[in-house]
């Protein structure tokens, strides 16, 4: 089994380009199609599908139809969307500077995490109901950040010590794909042939906002730490999502290729998740959820390679987390919150062990710290191979 699948392609690109790709440099390298061989890490995508980040037009059509037809299981998942919207009001003001706090939070850090998921919830509610009220609420949030956000900064940790600036890179990698997922629906989806009416001016401004996140923060993740962990997994997912938005194979493949390369360092061959073995019960789920959402995005784009890589390594990682939840692993995670990525992983793999894990906290809304997309029991439960 080859672990560093990306290296054949990197060797052909040349040393300078290879180093740039692996370091996540701010200037994207041009895509290099390789039609002579099939054992490279290239995604092979030439035309992107939209919406194309974690959900697709076909999957949204399916789940909206089922919910509107009174399907009890789908409705239970959809209720998580409305619960979230009932908990948080659509904001009328948006921060120009978001202050990141290591091992803590700030009002602006909490707001941007909360709001990007709220925009996604509004978009999903528009998909289900067809009411322009919810599309307009989603646009209000997306435009609010597009026209107001300027930069990330830092504030001291709760103990008074300084927050390292590199934490801003990770924060941007968490919110960027959620903003993109919401934006993809509002930009491309149609309810009964009618779109959300997002103006080209506002779309362009939103692209500027995403470029700010990508160029000044997300791209810096790989070189920010010496370890390989959930930071890089989050980076890869974010770059793939951003690549879909920008219709850029270069941006997309910078995440896709890097993820294929590092997956064996994130989850070992026996399924043990690095951060479950070495750290706690929360951070390994950042890794698993980022990898799962990256794989689901690739699946929507027509490529199942991430799901299948290294003997279905993503499945093996979730399996090991079920062992921890069941108390049959060296780290006991019994009772820990399970991240909504499990619903998406179970839809693809459909194994009894993943069913056991997802059934522990079904239906799934949003994780407590709001770092990744949620509402997967609405968007992914039993959707099968639709894309």
- Which among 312, 322, 329 is positioned nearest to 267, based on CA atoms? 312
- Which among 179, 211, 213 is positioned nearest to 100, based on CA atoms? 213
Evaluate if pTM is beyond 0.85.
Answer: yes
- Structural domains in the chain (count): 1
Position 155 in a domain: yes
CATH of the domain at 195: 1.50.10.100
* pLDDT score at 41: 65
Each residue's pLDDT, cut to its tens digit, for the chain (387 residues) gives 333 333 333 332 333 333 333 333 333 433 322 222 233 568 888 899 999 999 999 999 999 999 999 999 999 999 999 999 999 999 999 999 999 999 999 999 999 999 999 999 999 999 999 999 999 999 999 999 999 999 999 999 999 999 999 999 999 999 999 999 999 999 999 999 999 999 999 999 999 999 999 999 999 999 999 999 999 999 999 999 999 999 999 999 999 999 999 999 999 988 999 999 999 999 999 999 999 999 999 999 999 999 999 999 999 999 999 999 999 999 999 999 999 999 999 999 999 999 999 999 999 999 999 999 999 999 999 999 998
* pLDDT score at 292: 98
Supply the range of the domain harboring residue 291: 45-379
Position 115 in a domain: yes
Q: What distance in Å separates the CA atoms of residue 284 and residue 273, rounded to the nearest whole number?
A: 6
Position 21 in a domain: no
Q: What distance in Å separates the CA atoms of residue 78 and residue 372, rounded to the nearest whole number?
A: 17
| Structure-token pair, residue 351 | 């194994």
Position 25 in a domain: no
Q: Supply the DSSP symbol for 217.
A: T
Position 188 in a domain: yes
Position 107 in a domain: yes
DSSP helix/strand/coil, 99: strand
């Amino acid at each position: 089994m080859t672990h560093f699948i990306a290296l054949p392609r990197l060797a052909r690109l040349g040393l300078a380009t290879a180093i740039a790709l692996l370091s996540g440099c701010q200037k994207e390298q041009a895509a290099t199609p390789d039609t002579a061989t099939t054992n490279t890490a290239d995604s092979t995508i030439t035309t992107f599908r939209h919406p194309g980040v974690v959900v697709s037009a076909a999957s949204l059509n399916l789940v909206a139809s089922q919910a509107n037809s009174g399907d009890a299981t789908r409705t239970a998942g959809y209720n998580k969307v409305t619960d979230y919207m009932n908990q948080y009001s659509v904001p009328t003001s948006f921060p120009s500077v978001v202050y990141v706090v290591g091992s803590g939070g700030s009002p602006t850090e909490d707001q941007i995490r909360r709001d990007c998921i709220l925009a996604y919830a509004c978009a999903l509610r528009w998909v289900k109901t067809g009411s322009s009220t919810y599309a307009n609420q989603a646009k209000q949030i997306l435009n609010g950040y597009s026209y107001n956000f300027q930069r990330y900064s830092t504030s001291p940790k709760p103990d008074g010590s300084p927050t390292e600036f590199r934490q801003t890179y990770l924060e941007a990698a968490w919110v960027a794909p959620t903003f993109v997922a919401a934006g993809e629906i509002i930009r491309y989806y149609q309810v009964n042939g009618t779109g959300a009416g997002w103006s080209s001016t506002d779309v362009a401004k939103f692209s500027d906002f995403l470029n700010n996140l990508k160029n000044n923060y997300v791209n810096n993740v790989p070189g920010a730490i010496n370890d390989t962990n959930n930071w890089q997994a989050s980076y890869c997912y974010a770059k793939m999502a951003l690549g879909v938005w920008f219709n850029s194979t270069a941006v997309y493949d910078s995440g896709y290729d890097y993820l294929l390369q590092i997956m064996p360092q994130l989850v070992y061959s026996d399924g043990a998740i690095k951060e479950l073995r070495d750290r706690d019960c929360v951070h390994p789920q950042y890794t698993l959820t980022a990898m799962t959402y990256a794989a689901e995005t690739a699946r929507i784009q027509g490529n199942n390679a991430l799901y299948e890589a290294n003997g279905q390594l993503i499945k093996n990682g979730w399996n090991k987390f079920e062992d921890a939840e069941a108390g049959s692993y060296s780290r006991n995670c019994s009772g820990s919150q399970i991240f909504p990525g499990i619903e998406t992983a179970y839809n693809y793999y459909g194994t009894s062990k993943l069913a056991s894990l997802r059934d522990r906290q079904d239906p799934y809304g949003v994780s407590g710290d709001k770092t990744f997309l949620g509402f997967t029991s609405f968007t992914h439960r039993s959707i099968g191979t639709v894309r």
